[in-house]
Amino acid sequence: MTGQMFVQHFFNALTLGSLYALIAIGYTMVYGILRLINFAHGEIFMLGAYFIFYTGSLFNLPWVVGAVISIVLCALCGIMVDKVAYKPLRDAPRISALISSIGMSFLIQNLAIVVFSGIPKPVVRPDFFVKIMVIKGVRILPLAVIVPVVCFVLVLGLLFIVYKTKPGLAMRAISKDIETTRLMGVSVNRIIALTFGLGSALAAASGIMWALRYPQIQPLMGFMPGIKAFIAAVVGGIGSIHGAVIGGLILGFVEIMTVAFFPELSGFKDAFAFILLIVILLAKPTGLMGEKIEEKV
Amino acid sequence: MMESKKTKNLFLNALLLVVVVGLLWWAPENLDGYKIQILNLIAIYSILGLSLNLIYGFTGMFSLGTAGFMCIGAYVSSLLILPEMQKDMIFILEPLNPILYGAHAPFVVAVLAGGVAAAIAGLIIGIPVLRLGGDYLGIATLGFAEIIRVVANNIPTITNGALGLKGIPAYANLWWNYGWMFFTLYVMYRLVNSNFGNALKAIRDDELAAKAMGINTFKYRVISFTVGSFFAGIGGALMASLLTTIDPKMFMVIMTYNVLMVVVAGGLGSLSGSVIGAVVVTVLLEWLRFVENPITLGSFEIPGVPGMRMVIFALSLIMIILYRPEGVMGNKELSWEGLFGLGKGGKDHE
């Protein structure tokens, strides 16, 4: 493999890893607060891609406006999902909420098939994203630079919200002890809704960029990235935002580099993430950045 | 008093068996192929539901790997019953591995082999993964099922890759399917009502307390998982022969969701609940097809919406978990006393 090839693969891996990281953050935030795997998160990602497609093709809105609308709509969808499927089950056994989230994921997927039709749609990309630049013989899509940068900015923004603002403080408090936080006069349900909104907005951002990078969208496109991003969150240590970013990047690199170095394995591409997951769980059950979980007696 | 009750139950059970056997005689002559197919699917979904209920309902391990074990069972058993001529016909891109080419077995052995292969896979995956608890286990088993599917898609000399296997002999008729179903039911009944079953329920209710009582929880979890995998493999093998064609796409996560729906609808920790769940889910899935056809109400014509069936199916799953999380049966069993309203409802699994 030449150096130029390696640089190209490096940028591909960085792009894919950033996209995984953005979805993984949503999982990790919800899991940190509710101890719930939100299986419907991958579907929000898919909706993000569809909304940008429709704002562009139906209403001919400028691309940036479409992206903002898509992110806002997805945040609302995320909050709706929480209201409908999880809020009534706050006091039920955790497994009920998990099954409810599987049902929700299933529901959104099939609604999408009914509403958007199951036929894959090609996404039209603005020229400046895909005009290939050649730098010292390395051919790079502008997207491969834009995506990691946008991802970095979004994560910084999120970290600011979580660590420097009052609602962020409440979020961190809830993840430690929901009951005590409620007693302190925090409107827990509102903070949880905010968490779902923020996580879904990031998933939407990821979905939009995914649609630009791999310009074909279909209703089941959220499933695989969703599951892989969850794996990224677990690998990084679920509950930790830094962990989600690190996990996402690791996953992106593992996936791209294995195929780059061993092209004969490309058929097994989708299995790498799961093998990585099982290896990490066995070596370090709480993930790379995870906190120790004490067993309650 | 106890004795007479026991005799009565035995008598009623025998009567039920006679009725079912009579129905199995009667059905092929008098029902159309579609209804028979539904009856067959009910038996297979019962086996799958019982398998998941042992792992999840009785031992409390949230596993999402059913489709993976089914996949193993289906491929192993199908390769054993496919005639050589058919193997020549379907393996066109890459030839079948010569060992598998010559391998043959009668149907019952093939199905058992499918179950055993799935059980071995369950043991191999179970030993490392069952150290994890709760949600991690669910995700790890889901991942395992997905790996199985990806591998099946990529070893053409064994599985024929994405093309799958076609023309599998349709041995799985009502007799085989219901025979296996009753066998599964019997094994499960004996298992969960033994000391072994009590240990499983103790682990489900409070693992730490069970450990403190001196139960080797890890061993029990692994055995429960392996037995559950065995029956998932059996279910997969029967389904392959019933549908006569399989490919890796069939064993996507949605298959696991269907089985999960059977267990949740029927009741976690109830054997009779799994059978009822299988009836409800299979019939609902078929019956819902009407929403995809145009409906005429007087002079109105409501156009059919393709895909609507699964939307309603997903909605029902959410409705069940929101409004009746314990399913039809909860963790109770259907019993004759309960049916006749003599006792205080069904027998509890406590």
Q: Is pLDDT above 50 for A296?
A: no
Q: What is the model's pLDDT at position B71?
A: 96
Which amino acid, one-letter code, is at A192?
A: I
> How far apart are the C-alpha atoms of B104 and A119, rounded to whole Å?
41
Residues A89 and A98 sit within 8 Å (Cβ to Cβ): no
Q: Is pLDDT above 70 for B1?
A: no
Q: Is pLDDT above 50 for B134?
A: yes
Q: Is pLDDT above 80 for B306?
A: no
Is residue A281 within 8 angstroms of chain B, CB to CB?
yes
What is the three-class DSSP state of B297?
A: strand
Is residue A273 within 8 angstroms of chain B, CB to CB?
yes
The average pLDDT across B24-35 equals 83
The first and second tokens of residue B184, run together, are: 């599964």
pLDDT band at A297 (very low <50, low <70, confident <90, very high): very low
> Which of B141, B252, B321, B331 has the most A C-beta neighbours within 10 Å, making it the best mutation to test the interface with A?
B321
Q: Is pLDDT above 90 for B91?
A: no
Is residue A220 within 8 angstroms of chain B, CB to CB?
no
> Which of A278, A282, A293 has the most B C-beta neighbours within 10 Å, making it the best mutation to test the interface with B?
A278
> How far apart are the C-alpha atoms of A179 and A186, rounded to whole Å?
10
Q: Å from A214 to nearest chain B CA?
A: 21
Residues B152 and B248 sit within 8 Å (Cβ to Cβ): yes
Q: What is the model's pLDDT at position B251?
A: 93
For the residues of B85-104, what is the DSSP string, one character each? HHHHHH--SSPPPHHHHH--
Is residue A251 within 8 angstroms of chain B, CB to CB?
no
Q: What is the model's pLDDT at position B235?
A: 96
| DSSP label of B68 | H
Query: B257–A102: do the CB atoms touch at under 8 Å?
Result: yes
Q: Å from B256 to nearest chain A CA?
A: 11
What region does A284 belong to: left with phi over 0, alpha with psi -120 to 50, or beta?
A: beta
Q: Is pLDDT above 60 for B115?
A: yes
Residue B114: beta bridge partners? none
Cα three-residue angle B91-B92-B98, rounded to 5 degrees = 45
> Which range, A121-125, A157-161, A176-180, B134-138, is most confident?
A157-161
Tens of pLDDT, residue by residue over A257-267, are 998 888 888 88
- Closest residue in A to B324 (Cα) is A96
Q: Is pLDDT above 80 for B196?
A: yes
Is residue A288 within 8 angstroms of chain B, CB to CB?
no
Tens of pLDDT, residue by residue over B236-292, are 999 999 999 999 999 988 899 889 889 988 888 889 999 999 998 899 888 888 777
Of B135, B150, B253, the CB nearest to A268: B150
List CB contacts of A56: < 8 A, sequence separation 6 or more: A63, A66, A124
Query: A274–B144: do the CB atoms touch at under 8 Å?
Result: yes
What region does B83 belong to: left with phi over 0, alpha with psi -120 to 50, or beta?
A: beta
Alpha helices in B31-132 (DSSP H): 33-52, 66-81, 84-90, 98-102, 107-129
Mean pLDDT in chain B?
Answer: 86
Of B151, B260, B305, the CB nearest to A99: B260
The average pLDDT across B320-339 equals 78
| DSSP label of A111 | H
The first and second tokens of residue A279, run together, are: 């290896």
In chain B, % of residues over pLDDT 90: 37
The average pLDDT across B324-335 equals 78
Mean pLDDT in chain A?
Answer: 88
Q: Å from A89 to nearest chain B CA?
A: 7
Q: What is the model's pLDDT at position B184?
A: 95
- Closest residue in A to B327 (Cα) is A96
Q: Is pLDDT above 90 for B158?
A: no
> How far apart are the C-alpha atoms of A183 and B6, rounded to whole Å?
55
Q: Is pLDDT above 70 for A292?
A: no
Shortest CA distance to A244 belongs to which of A282, A283, A206? A206
pLDDT band at A205 (very low <50, low <70, confident <90, very high): very high
Q: How many CB atoms lie within 10 A of CB B125?
A: 25
b/e per residue B304-319 (b: at least 16 CB within 10 A): eeebbbbbbbbbbbbe
- Closest residue in B to A268 (Cα) is B150
Residues of B in contact with A270 (CB under 8 A): 146, 150
Q: Is pLDDT above 70 for B341?
A: no
> How far apart are the C-alpha atoms of A14 and A6, rounded to whole Å?
12
- Closest residue in A to B148 (Cα) is A271
Query: B318–A227: do the CB atoms touch at under 8 Å?
Result: no
Query: B150–A275: do the CB atoms touch at under 8 Å?
Result: no
Q: What is the model's pLDDT at position B343?
A: 46
- Closest residue in B to A271 (Cα) is B147
Q: Is pLDDT above 60 for B348?
A: no
Residues of A in contact with B140 (CB under 8 A): 277-278, 281
Q: What is the model's pLDDT at position B278?
A: 94
The average pLDDT across B5-9 equals 77
Least confident of A142-151, A173-182, B49-58, B128-137: B128-137
Q: What is the model's pLDDT at position B34?
A: 87
Residues A36 and B134 sit within 8 Å (Cβ to Cβ): no
Flag whether the pTM goes above 0.95. no
Alpha helices in chain A (DSSP H): 3-34, 41-57, 63-81, 94-116, 127-130, 142-164, 166-176, 178-183, 188-213, 223-236, 241-261, 269-283
Which of B310 and A198 is assigned the larger pLDDT?
A198
Q: Is pLDDT above 70 for B342?
A: no
Q: What is the model's pLDDT at position B137?
A: 83
| Widest CA span in chain A | 62
> How far apart are the C-alpha atoms of B52 and B214, rounded to whole Å?
26
Q: What is the model's pLDDT at position B345?
A: 47
Integer CA distances (angstroms), B235 to A125, B45, B244, in order: 47, 7, 14
Tens of pLDDT, residue by residue over A232-242, are 998 898 888 99
Query: A98–B62: do the CB atoms touch at under 8 Å?
Result: yes
- Closest residue in A to B57 (Cα) is A95
> Sign of dihedral through CA atoms B27, B31, B33, B39?
negative
Q: Å from B252 to nearest chain A CA?
A: 11
Of A113, A273, A297, the CB nearest to B307: A113
Residues A129 and A141 sit within 8 Å (Cβ to Cβ): yes
For chains A and B, CB pairs below 8 A equal: 109
The average pLDDT across A116-145 equals 81
| Widest CA span in chain B | 71
Query: B321–A111: do the CB atoms touch at under 8 Å?
Result: no
Which phi and psi (to 5°) does residue A239 adopt?
Answer: 105, -15
Q: Is pLDDT above 80 for B87?
A: yes
Tens of pLDDT, residue by residue over A23-66, are 999 999 998 888 888 999 999 999 999 999 998 877 777 888 99
Q: What is the model's pLDDT at position B265?
A: 87
Q: Å from A96 to nearest chain B CA?
A: 6
Which phi and psi (to 5°) does residue B333 adopt?
Answer: -110, 150
In chain A, % of residues over pLDDT 90: 46
User: Judging by DSSP bridges, how do beta strands A216-217 and B295-297 pair with one another?
Assistant: unpaired
> Which of B71, B127, B147, B331 has the most A C-beta neighbours within 10 Å, making it the best mutation to test the interface with A?
B147
The average pLDDT across A186-198 equals 92
Is residue A274 within 8 angstroms of chain B, CB to CB?
yes
Tens of pLDDT, residue by residue over A104-113, are 998 999 999 9
The average pLDDT across A122-133 equals 79
Residues B309 and B253 sit within 8 Å (Cβ to Cβ): no
The first and second tokens of residue A97, run together, are: 């909420």
Q: Which fold has domain A3-283?
A: ABC transporter involved in vitamin B12 uptake, BtuC (1.10.3470)
Q: What is the model's pLDDT at position A207?
A: 95
Is residue A111 within 8 angstroms of chain B, CB to CB?
yes
* Tokens 């403190």 found at: B212
pLDDT band at A13 (very low <50, low <70, confident <90, very high): very high
Q: Which helix (H) or strand (E) element contains residue B328? A: none
